Amino acid sequence: MSEVKVRVRQQRKPSRIAQERKQDLIEAAIRNIADHGYDAVTVATICEEAGFSRGLIGHYFSGKDELLLEAVKEVAQRLGNAIRDAVRNAGDDPKARLHALIDASFSPPGHTPENVAVWVALVGAARLSPALGAIYREIWRDYRDGVGRLFKRAGKLNGRKIDADRTALTFSQLVEGLWVGGAADSESIPAKKAAACCHTYVDQMIGQ
């Protein structure tokens, strides 16, 4: 029986220009969501913001919905990267890591008016969009798992028994609530005050 050779066509890597244009469209979508809300964004507003013709989106995305999903994922990745870097640089102490996580959650490059505005739009749209809802649940599930482990370790080192799941849930909703409230009323809930609220919660749960 003769050997049959199967050729596998290698997928061509996008050119640098194609990658840049795709990223430009994602950035334009992020700005549009931040300025107008998720539901108000259109192909026309995105392309006008990016300075491209309307037909260009079809070369890189299946449509507006895919592009908007990528924009939300980009913002989530920025927030996640900033938090992970801060936690990693804080050393091994779990309490120090929690405080570093808070600082990163309320300061650039993760916490910016644009990124927070997109996150607020995600919160509002996740209930009605299965795709956005899946992204939202996945992000918070991973976040709470990591935060819960930190609280549990920190409590153990300080002689406190902590319900990791409940504490992580409370903490995550505290953070998100301050993001949403700060976006609506930055005068009453500036980022620095919001971070201080979270630092106080950690100290109260773990001990000074």
Average pLDDT value for residue range 148-152: 97
Q: Is 121 among the domain residues? A: yes
Q: Is 158 among the domain residues? A: yes
Residue-wise pLDDT for 28-63, tens only, equals 999 999 998 888 889 999 999 989 888 888 888 888
Average pLDDT value for residue range 169-187: 96
The total of structural domains in the chain comes to 1
pLDDT at 99 over 60: yes
Tell me what pLDDT residue 13 has.
61
Tell me what pLDDT residue 65 has.
87
Percent over 90 (pLDDT), the chain: 65
Instruction: Look up residue 165 and give its amino acid.
Output: D
Highest average pLDDT, of 14-23, 59-68, 117-126, 171-180, comes from 171-180
Domain that holds residue 175: 72-206
Q: Is 9 strand, coil or helix?
A: coil
Residue-wise pLDDT for 56-85, tens only, equals 888 888 888 899 889 999 999 999 999 999
As given in the structure block, the two tokens for residue 134 are 């899946």
Q: Is 197 among the domain residues? A: yes
Q: Is 135 in contact with 159 (CB distance < 8 Å)? A: no
Residue-wise pLDDT for 7-26, tens only, equals 444 455 667 777 888 999 99
Rounded CA gap, 142 and 4, in Å? 45
pLDDT at 150 over 90: yes
| CATH number of the domain bearing residue 81 | 1.10.357.10
As given in the structure block, the two tokens for residue 45 are 């507003």
Tell me what pLDDT residue 14 has.
62
Tell me what pLDDT residue 62 has.
86
Nearest Cα neighbor of 95 from 13, 17, 22, 156 is 156
**Least confident window among 74-83, 142-151, 190-199:** 74-83
Mean pLDDT of the chain: 89
Tell me what pLDDT residue 170 has.
98
Q: Name every residue whose Cβ is closer than 8 Å to that of residue 65 and which is 6 or more positions away in sequence.
A: 131
Tell me what pLDDT residue 38 has.
87
Tell me what pLDDT residue 9 has.
46
Q: What is the DSSP letter of 63?
A: S
Q: Name every residue whose Cβ is closer than 8 Å to that of residue 34 and which is 6 or more positions away in sequence.
A: 113, 114, 115, 117, 118, 121
Burial group, residue 135, by CB count within 10 angstroms (0-12, 13-18, 19+):
middle
Confidence of residue 4 (pLDDT cuts 50, 70, 90): very low
